[in-house]
Structure 1
Amino acid sequence: MKHLLFTLFSLCAFTAKAQTFKNPQSLFDPTPYGFSHSSSVSTPGELVYISGQSGGLGKDHILSNSFREQTQVALQNIVTVLGSYNLKPENVMKLTILIVDHSAEKLKIWNEEITKVWKNKPFPASTLIPVPKLAIDGMLIEVDAVAFKAE
């Protein structure tokens, strides 16, 4: 009985909160790959989880060979998803950055490009993870984010 009540309480708690999944029209359709560009759960504010955004440009996911260009596109893709929730970079609480064959030069480029997007400091918390390869050949960077919007 105790287990049943806990299960019912858990179900009620989760169903009482509104869930939203978004895939902005200007980005490629990720559903064939088993993810959404973002998801959120309403609380006394709204948490928004943004899936890893690559440097793939537009619906065709065109990948430049330039790490800088892919970094710019990945950050712009984050801004696009944020905009679909009426959020700005300042609403991002956490970033995770995956960089293929990470180096001091790539870190310098990342730092230059993030300061162009996050003009109002402080920056969000972040984790940079060097990786040997990403999901698609030619991807050099992937960035995911968690944002919050107060009610």
Structure 2
Amino acid sequence: MANAKAQQTRAFEFINPAGLYDPSANGYSHIARLGMGARIAFIAGQGGETPDGSLSPDFRLQVRQALDNLAVAAAAVGANLQGVVKQTMLVVDHDEKKLHILGEEFARAYGPGMMPTATLIPVPRLALDGMLFEVEAIVAISAE
């Protein structure tokens, strides 16, 4: 894989090929390729609701809670956030400030290294009043 930056994990690898900009500051990678025998799970959109159903009015806190919720869902299938290969994010009234918050919160949640592939979709509204962020994911589960 000439001129490409890649990170191999047990179930998949992320690839940022030469010729595409480096997306790491925005919290994602361009490509994820599953390895042989990997299984996948599809996790429905997780918002920033706490276990009692409440939502903070703060965008950053909703993103943080949504990623914590995603981690709980991943754990339920024997995975963790490092197994997320693809995520789709829905952001109410998206702007550059929110993009920077997303990058910071993804770095906090996912740790060092390459980030999952991602698509961000700006939306005017989400399912619940006051909901500002939602993330759905595809998670790779090691065949071991």
TM over 0.5: yes
Larger helix percent:
1
Alignment partners' CA distance in 2, 1:146 and 1:121: 18
What percent identity do the matched residue pairs reach?
38
8 Å Cα contact 1:90/1:120 also seen in 2 = no
Q: Does 1:53 align with 2:43?
A: no
Greater relative contact order structure (CA < 8 Å, 6+ sep) = 2
Alignment partners' CA distance in 1, 2:71 and 2:88: 15
Letter in 1 for 2:94: H
Residue 86 of structure 1 deviates from its aligned partner by: 2.2
Larger strand percent:
2
Q: Choose from 70, 83, 107 the match for 1:115.
A: 107
Q: Does 1:63 align with 2:55?
A: yes
Partner of 1:125: 117
Residue 87 of structure 1 deviates from its aligned partner by: 1.0
Partner of 1:81: 73
CA deviation profile, 1:27-57 (whole Å, cap 9, x unmatched): xxxxxxxxxxxxxxxx933211000000111
Alignment partners' CA distance in 2, 1:121 and 1:48: 22
8 Å Cα contact 1:75/1:117 also seen in 2 = yes
Partner secondary structure for residue 109 of structure 1: helix
- The two structures have a TM-score, normalised by structure 1, of 0.68
Alignment partners' CA distance in 2, 1:48 and 1:65: 30
Alignment partners' CA distance in 2, 1:121 and 1:61: 32
Count of residue pairs brought into register by the alignment: 108
- The two structures have a TM-score, normalised by structure 2, of 0.72
Segments of 4+ moved more than 6 angstroms: none
Letter in 2 for 1:76: D
Structure 2: gaps (5+ residues): 1-35
Structure 1: gaps (5+ residues): 1-42
